[in-house]
Amino acid sequence: MAERLQGLRNAKRIIKNIPDSARKILSDDLQAIGNRLLGRAEAETPVKSGGLKAALKMKFTMGVSMILRIGLLDKRAKSRYFYGYILDAGRKAYTRKGRHIGAIGREKYNFVFGRRADFNANELPNLRSVWTKILQDASAGGNPND
């Protein structure tokens, strides 16, 4: 069952009412983060035909809420390169049944290239520092560009 988050309404109001100069700083930072994450994803994507690597895209929407999306964004890419999600998140564990003949390297099948841990470790501290500066400048009544 869905619950209402405390403080969500205030957070949305703050984001909606930040000045244009602060919005530009935040959008520039989000675009830089998106470019870095897309570059890392493309660099770590296994290349056999190159299709999956070419299908990775970044989209930044600068509206009331700034949205950054990275990955297989259009419907055709999602259906054609569905295995990209398996490579990114790994594959489901299963139980072997019957006799196992021959040896297949396990590391070959255990792909995990998740972006979330990378984002939390490298990009989130930078984003938090920019957000803190914007909020401090806004609370002091100053311009974030100063």
Q: Is residue 122 part of a domain?
A: yes
Cβ–Cβ < 8 Å for 111, 6? no
pLDDT of residue 145: 57
* 90: three-class secondary structure by DSSP: coil
**Euclidean distance between CA atoms 95 and 38, whole angstroms:** 35
Domain range for 75: 16-91+107-140
In a domain, 27, yes or no: yes
Measured over the CA atoms of residue 4, residue 10, residue 16 and residue 20, the dihedral's sign is negative
Tell me whether residue 9 is in a domain. Answer: no
Residue 66 inside a domain? The answer is yes
pTM tops 0.75, yes or no: no
Residue 57 lies inside a defined structural domain of this protein? yes
The pLDDT, as a whole number, for residue 109 is 43
Total domains in the fold of the chain: 1
Distances (CA, A) of 90 to 72, 106, 114: 16, 12, 8
Residue 23 domain flag: yes
At 108 the pLDDT is 44
Residues of the chain with pLDDT under 50: 1-2, 106-113
Average pLDDT, the chain: 75
Instruction: Give pLDDT tens digits for 7-45.
Output: 777 777 777 777 888 888 888 888 998 898 888 888 888
Q: Using DSSP, state whether 81 is helix, strand or coil.
A: coil
List the structure tokens of 47: 């290349």
Among left, alpha and beta (phi > 0; psi -120 to 50; other), residue 49 is: alpha
pLDDT of amino acid 12: 72
Residue 107: the pLDDT is 46
41 belongs to a structural domain: yes
Q: Residue 65: which residues within 8 A CB-CB, separation 6 or more?
A: 12, 15
Amino acid in position 82: F
Within a domain: 5: no
DSSP designation for 144? T
pLDDT at 99: 60
- In whole angstroms, what is the distance from residue 129 CA to residue 124 CA? 9
